[in-house]
Amino acid sequence: MKVACVQMDIEFGNPEKNFEAVNQFIEEAVSSGADTIVLPEMWNTGYALNELDRLADKNGAATKELLSSLAKKHQVNIVGGSVSTKRDGKFHNTMYVVGRNGEIVAEYDKAHLFKLMDEHLYIESGQSVNRFTLDGIDCGGVICYDIRFPEWIRTHVLQGAKIIFIPAEWPKKRIDHWQLLLQARAIENQCYIVAVNRVGNDPNNEFNGHSMVIAPWGELLVSKNEEEGIFYANIDMDEVDRVRSTIPVFQDRREELYL
């Protein structure tokens, strides 16, 4: 699977502009032969949290329509990062995943809300695991701060996920945590990590990308890029089995000792 990490800038509080940009990035990734295109967190509005009543995507309708029509037109998978949505009068930070025929294969609301960016004051947390299949491959998806909860990623992997997709708006000032946490999540779970962070600024933070594709042994297939653009990696799923048979972590777990 060739994955495309769309490391884009996000126009604060301007969904119209961001929809145009995403459209163009997806066209570009398709012309480079991507199988699966991955977007960053909250790409429609950024963290314009106090304007969500006006800006959030009602029932995710506009996002689903755009991603679904592009996926179908180009026969490509899209892990739609996340967008701010409004459902039943509440706001959510929602990931939509779309398969090659344009079908929505997963919807996930971010489970762990990030208090340092006031997310908990505006957004409702999600309650469910995010497992899905793309091209026959078992996948999972979490959002940004979720990666600080190793048990949450483990839950997805124990349910079969072999690639974990992670859209983010992770500020530059903690980018060292980002890299270390992602590498640890890949190594301890012996799975691929595809993590896409934004670039640019919002009124409170600077973002410097460092989108990452990490192999199950911990090698960085994509890393360290700070500019806006699309970064590609080829994922070989046999590598998951090779690593798991070299160090059989999942056979050696002592579940009876854990809380």
Ligand X SMILES: NC(=O)CCC(=O)C(=O)O
Q: Which residues bind ligand X (CB under 6 A)?
A: 41, 114, 117, 144-145, 148, 169-171, 174, 177
Kindly tell me which of 182 and 243 has the beta carbon lying closer to ligand X.
182
Kindly tell me which of 34 and 117 has the beta carbon lying closer to ligand X.
117
Residues forming a β-bridge with 84: 93
Kindly tell me which of 108 and 114 has the beta carbon lying closer to ligand X.
114
Nearest distance, CB of residue 232 and ligand X, angstroms: 24
Nearest distance, CB of residue 160 and ligand X, angstroms: 25
Kindly tell me which of 204 and 246 has the beta carbon lying closer to ligand X.
204
Q: Which of 11, 41, 107, 169 is catalytic?
A: 41
User: Which pair of tokens denotes residue 170?
Assistant: 């992770």
Q: Which of 110, 139, 162, 191 is catalytic?
A: 110
Cβ pair 33, 61 in contact under 8 A? no
Cβ pair 17, 239 in contact under 8 A? no
Nearest distance, CB of residue 138 and ligand X, angstroms: 25
User: Which pair of tokens denotes residue 194?
Assistant: 């595809």
Q: Catalytic site residue 110?
A: yes
Nearest distance, CB of residue 140 and ligand X, angstroms: 17
Q: Catalytic site residue 58?
A: no
Cβ pair 134, 107 in contact under 8 A? no
Task: Quote the CA–CA distance of 77 and 203 in Å, as a whole number.
Answer: 32
Kindly tell me which of 60 and 171 has the beta carbon lying closer to ligand X.
171
Cβ pair 35, 77 in contact under 8 A? yes
Q: Which of 5, 139, 144, 191 is catalytic?
A: 144
Closest CA to 14 of 69, 51, 60, 68: 51
Using the Cα atoms of residue 82, residue 11, residue 99 and residue 158 in order, give the sign of their dihedral: negative
**CA angle (174, 176, 182) in 5-degree steps:** 105
Residues forming a β-bridge with 91: 86, 123
Q: Catalytic site residue 144?
A: yes
Q: Please write down the HEC assignment for all residues of 64-82.
A: HHHHHHHHHHHCCEEECCC
Task: Indicate which residues carry an active-site annotation.
Answer: 41, 110, 144
